[in-house]
Each structure stands twice: as C-alpha cells, then as structure tokens.
C-alpha cells in the first residue's frame, strides 16, 4: 500500500486483489469495534461492479453479523429481483457465508414511485440504521456518487444540510432508472466514509474533483471537500 499526499486519506494499492483484502479487513474491524462499543453497527453500501470482490471477501470474516445492519447508499427503482437492483447485488455478493446472518434494510418499495417513498425511506433508515457507522461510496466517470448526478435539478435539495431527510428521489439525466439516494447530509453524518475507486480513469476524475469547488458539476467534490469529514480513499 502506498499513501499519497492528496486531500483526505488516500491509499493506493499495487493490485485490486490487495485492495480487496485490505478494504475488507478494514471494514470488518470498523464493524467489530462499533459492535463492541454499542452492541450493533450500520454499514451502507454502493452498487455497481467495483465492490463485488470486496463484498465476497468481507462475507468470509468471522464477526457477529447478526448485529450488523446493512443499508444502501442508493437504489435503482426496479423490483428487487431485477438485474440492476442494488439490493439484489448486496444479497448475492455480500450476504452469503458468515454475512448471511446480517440484517438488510432496503430502500425499494413495491408499486410506489421514489418521490412517494422519500419520507418512508428516511424514517426507516433513521430508526434502523442511524447514526451511520460506515458509508462506502463509489464514483462514476462523470464524478457522480450515490445517485447524486452532475447538474441534476434535485442536487441543490440533496446538498441542503438543513434538510433533515436522509433520502431523496432523483431521476438521472443520462442514466437508466429512477433512483433513491442518500442526501449529502446523510452521507456526511457517517462516522466513517470510504470512497472505493479502481482504474486510471477514475483516478483522474478523483484528482480533478479534489480540486474542484463546482459541486453541481462534480458531485463527489461535495463529499471530498467538506471540511468536517475526512474521507478514506481506497484506490488500485
């Protein structure tokens, strides 16, 4: 592992395999420490292809998974069995092996539109997951994180730190499916925030976003450059 002198705590690994091992170990330690302290812990995860391998590795750790409550950073508004469902992804790749004992708290509600579920989602997350111990973010090549997409009309509402809601409904401009996403305030409230990125293209986006103040164009900048929250960045 190589630590690079960028903003936040940036950790560069020589291989995806080493990143996977180190990230899974680090997360397992955070979860165990929270359980030791208060008897339970909350872990909020992102979807996509990038986290699949570390999900599988994390599932093998021997921690009290029955005391772990897993939620989502965002969800595509599709049925739970749909191939694009983040809930399906987490259950298939993480909630196996030892982690099959974990508790899952989803965002998607059958036969409802996302905007109808903002309050329901927020209240459910406040009751079952909040305060968040750990949020693991991903990042797109367009610098979106969670489902906070560049120049989306809902961004200002999502960024409003006076907004007490943890969840917001968003329809991407250039990506499929309506979404539910954590608000910026919800993300920044987490005790631990990790950004997991892989590949040279994502590194370039991260470096540019770290220096950017244009949070409407670069949503990940709203997280990276918040003065009250250090983000751990895992990169290979």
Q: Could you give the number of structural domains in the chain? A: 1
State the pTM of this model.
0.96
Q: Residue 52: give the domain boundaries.
A: 2-235
Per-residue pLDDT, 7: 55
DSSP code string of 182-194: E-HHHHHTSSEEE
Q: What is the CATH number of the domain that holds 178?
A: 3.40.50.1360
Cβ contacts of 28 within 8 Å, gap of 6 or more: 58, 61, 63
pLDDT score of 5? 39
Q: Which residues of 145-175 are buried (b: 16+ CB within 10 A; e: fewer)?
A: bbbbbbebebbeebbeeebebbbbbbbbeee
pLDDT per residue of the chain (236 residues) written in tens, 0 to 9: 544 434 579 999 999 999 999 999 999 999 999 999 999 999 999 999 999 999 999 999 999 999 999 999 999 999 999 999 999 999 999 999 999 999 999 999 998 999 999 999 999 999 999 999 999 999 999 999 999 999 999 999 999 999 999 999 999 999 999 999 999 999 999 999 999 999 999 999 999 999 999 999 999 999 999 888 889 999 99
The pair of three-digit structure tokens given for residue 145, joined into one six-digit string: 């994180």
- Cβ(98)–Cβ(59) under 8 Å? yes
């Amino acid at each position: 592992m190589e630590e690079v002198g960028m903003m936040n705590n940036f950790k560069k690994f020589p291989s995806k395999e080493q990143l996977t091992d180190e990230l899974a170990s680090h997360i397992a330690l955070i979860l165990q420490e929270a359980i030791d302290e208060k008897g339970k812990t909350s872990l909020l995860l992102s979807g996509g292809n990038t986290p699949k391998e570390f999900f599988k590795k994390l599932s093998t750790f021997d921690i009290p998974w029955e005391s772990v409550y897993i939620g989502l950073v965002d969800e595509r508004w599709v049925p739970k069995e749909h191939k694009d469902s983040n809930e399906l992804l987490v259950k298939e790749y993480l909630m196996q092996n030892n982690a099959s004992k974990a508790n899952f708290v989803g965002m998607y509600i059958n036969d409802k539109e996302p905007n109808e579920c903002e309050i329901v989602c927020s209240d459910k997350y406040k009751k079952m997951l909040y305060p968040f111990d750990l949020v693991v973010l991903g990042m797109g090549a367009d610098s979106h994180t969670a489902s906070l997409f560049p120049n989306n009309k809902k961004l200002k509402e999502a960024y409003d730190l006076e907004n007490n809601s943890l969840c917001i409904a968003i329809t991407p401009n250039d990506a499929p499916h309506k979404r539910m996403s954590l608000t910026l305030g919800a993300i920044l409230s987490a005790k631990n925030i990790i950004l997991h990125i892989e590949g040279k293209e994502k590194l370039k986006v991260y470096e540019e976003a770290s220096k950017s103040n244009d949070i409407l164009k670069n949503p990940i900048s709203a997280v990276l450059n918040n003065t009250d929250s250090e983000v751990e960045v895992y990169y290979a």
